Amino acid sequence: MPYTEWLLIGIGSCAVFDLWQRLFQVFTTIPPTNWSLVGRWFIGLISKGRLFASQLAGQPKEKYETFAGWFVHYSVAVVYAGVFGFLIDLGFLNSTPLDGLAFGIASVVVPWFFFMPAMGNGVLANKTPNPILSCALALMMHSIFGLSLGIGFSILVT
């Protein structure tokens, strides 16, 4: 099992995700994800056992929240790469860009139904000013991430 390659593909695909968000911001002025808030949520989960946050942006900053947010972001990407690799090993998916894209599209259920509510934004971002935009951005980002996984696996894992 090429676990080292899976790790590199997860990190590389996450970097593509991050670069795309910054490029997208240039053309749309939509800012990239605030990973400090993810860190604040994660620290609250670890220290207080609070899975679902409320008004996260209004809560006091936590020491090391930015580091924690980036750590969670890249860790989740590596887990996604592991799941994708595992599904390839089981024969459910192939190491192709198209299967990566399909995986990325399917994976958007995680932010829609877990991370958005956990961060205090509601199911399908229904507590945000523009839920459709928030969900569409998540779909776009997971599609790009999944496509990157597929490309990475097609190059590094055969």
pLDDT single digits (tens) 33-55: 999 999 999 999 999 999 999 88
- pTM, 2 dp: 0.94
Nearest CA among 9, 27, 33, 16 for reference residue 137:
33
Each residue's pLDDT tens digit, 100-154: 999 999 999 999 999 999 999 999 999 999 999 999 999 999 999 999 999 999 9
Count of H helices and E strands in the chain?
Answer: 7, 0
Separation in Å, CA 44 to CA 27, 37, 79, 117, 119: 34, 10, 21, 14, 11
- Assigned token pair, 57: 């942006």
Local structure of residue 152 (DSSP, 8 states)? H
* Closest among 55, 25, 20 to 143, alpha carbons compared: 20
